[in-house]
Amino acid sequence: MKPIDAIKLSLTSTIRDALQIINNGAMQMAVVVDSEGKLLGTITDGDIRRGLLNNLRLEDSVETILHTTPTVATLSDTKEEILQKALTKKLHQIPIIDEEYRVLGIQEINDLIKPPTKPNMVVLMVGGLGSRLRPLTENTPKPMLKVGNKPILQTIVEKFAEYGFNEIVLCVNYKSHIIQDYFGDGSAFGVNITYIFEEERMGTAGALSLLTTLPNEPFFVMNGDLLTNINFEHLYNYHLSQNAMATMCVREYDFQVPYGVVNMEGNAILSIEEKPLHKFFVSAGIYMLDPEVIQYIPKNQFYDMPTLFETLIKKEQKAISFPIREYWLDIGQMEEYERANQEYAGVFQ
């Protein structure tokens, strides 16, 4: 067992406090206890994200997102019994309690059994022209531009490999030989890489119709020009826990109107808002899809991911969002490329 001192909260703690504990990376959860050390509930990354989507504030009490009926184990439970509880609920840690429901520690499931390499496919879209980054991309595909002394695509592949997602499919087009020559079959990077060749632009979803081996597990799709330290296992677990057909990572985007906005009814002025700030969620270019999604994608035609999600919604299939609060940068223009090089060492090293 591991001690709970670093992940312990009280009901007076805030969502921000829970966020800091989970971000520190010691464990993937926080525990809330009373003055006697009795377990009141747990908080996970998913609980925080759902709270933020429901417009809760970081300064709100943890009580607003507390899971009050967590799965627990006792000291008398055998290893097999603890594993069974964890596997049934897809848990990574389980609080260990005594007869008075006081928390004695946290059992890390990985300490009981080391999971095998995950079978989930990772499809990376790396065939773009990178026109807005010319002249850098005249002779180099955008995913092969170096940030932090290595190609953007290498950082992406290595981040997936950190979480055990080693089955990589690269959808290539523009100057694909450069990518193939660098990565080969992926063995030098500890992964297995296969390639899909787009003879013409198919779109983020359309390229999936070219898969020669169809996935039989939920799989990732991601644009190859992103830098992020998102926890891919959190995304995977969130997708499973929601029983979703498709999950889209979203990023909060703020836009401030540079003028006073006049609210009117007819010609009557009702109010004036001075330079209001509007907040939106935008697609972050990272997705988790169930294999059944592929049946909704037409063959041999351009089909982008927003269209796929619109189709799923019309078909009443469950399409959900996963808010990203970790580092994320879409390297689409020179300004973002320069920013990526400035920030890389502080985020990824």
Structure tokens at 245: 């057909």
Of 136, 158, 155, the C-alpha closest to 145 is: 136
Instruction: Please provide the CATH number assigned to the domain covering 5-111.
Output: 3.10.580.10
pLDDT of residue 218: 96
- CA distances from residue 38 to 27, 34, 217, 348 in whole angstroms, order as listed: 19, 5, 39, 38
Cα–Cα distance, 269 to 289 (Å, whole number): 47
Neighbours of 272 (CB within 10 A): 11
d(CA 282, CA 284) in angstroms, rounded, equals 6
| Distance spanning both ends of the chain, measured CA to CA | 29
Does residue 272 contact residue 263 with C-beta atoms inside 8 Å?
yes
Domain 118-348 architecture: Alpha-Beta Complex (3.90)
What integer pLDDT is reported at residue 323 of this predicted model?
87
Q: In sequence order, what are the residues at sequence separation of 6 or more whose Cβ sits closer than 8 angstroms to the Cβ of residue 309?
A: 246, 248, 319
* Rounded Cα–Cα distance for residues 228 and 205 (Å): 21
Angle at Cα 241 formed by Cα 32 and Cα 292, nearest 5°? 170
Q: What is the DSSP letter of 145?
A: S
CA 5 to chain centre: 27
Beta-carbon neighbour count of residue 58 at 10 Å? 15
How far is 170 from 245, CA to CA, in rounded Å? 22
- Tell me, what amino acid is at 84? Q
Residues 66 and 40 sit within 8 Å (Cβ to Cβ): yes
What is the residue whose two structure tokens read 């940030």?
Answer: 147
What pLDDT tens digit does each residue of the chain (349 aa) get?
788 888 899 999 999 999 988 887 667 889 999 999 999 999 988 899 999 898 999 999 999 999 999 999 886 677 778 888 888 888 888 998 888 898 988 888 876 765 458 899 999 998 776 667 777 777 778 888 888 888 999 999 998 988 889 999 999 887 788 888 999 999 888 899 999 988 888 888 989 998 988 899 999 999 988 999 888 888 898 899 889 999 999 988 887 788 888 888 888 788 888 888 878 888 899 999 999 999 999 988 899 999 999 999 999 999 999 988 888 988 877 888 888 888 888 887 6
- The predicted pLDDT at position 191 comes to 92
Three-state SS at 233:
helix
Per the document, the length of the chain is 349
Q: Residue type at 296?
A: Y
Nearest to 334 by CA among 134, 144, 68, 174: 134
Q: How far apart are CA 67 and CA 93, in angstroms?
A: 14
Q: How far is CA 179 from the centre of its chain?
A: 25
Contacts of 82 (CB under 8 A, 6+ apart): 73, 94, 107, 109, 112
**Number of Cβ within a 10 Å radius of residue 326:** 14
Separation CA 153–CA 143 (nearest Å): 5
Spatial distance between the Cα atoms of 176 and 125, rounded to a whole number of angstroms: 12
Residue-wise pLDDT for 98-116, tens only, equals 888 989 888 888 767 654 5
Q: Give me the pLDDT at residue 250, please.
A: 93
Report pLDDT for 344: 84
pTM for the predicted model, two decimal places = 0.68
Structure tokens at 258: 């540079």
The position carrying tokens 């995977």 is: 236
Q: Indicate where the chain has its CATH 3.10.580.10 domain(s).
A: 5-111
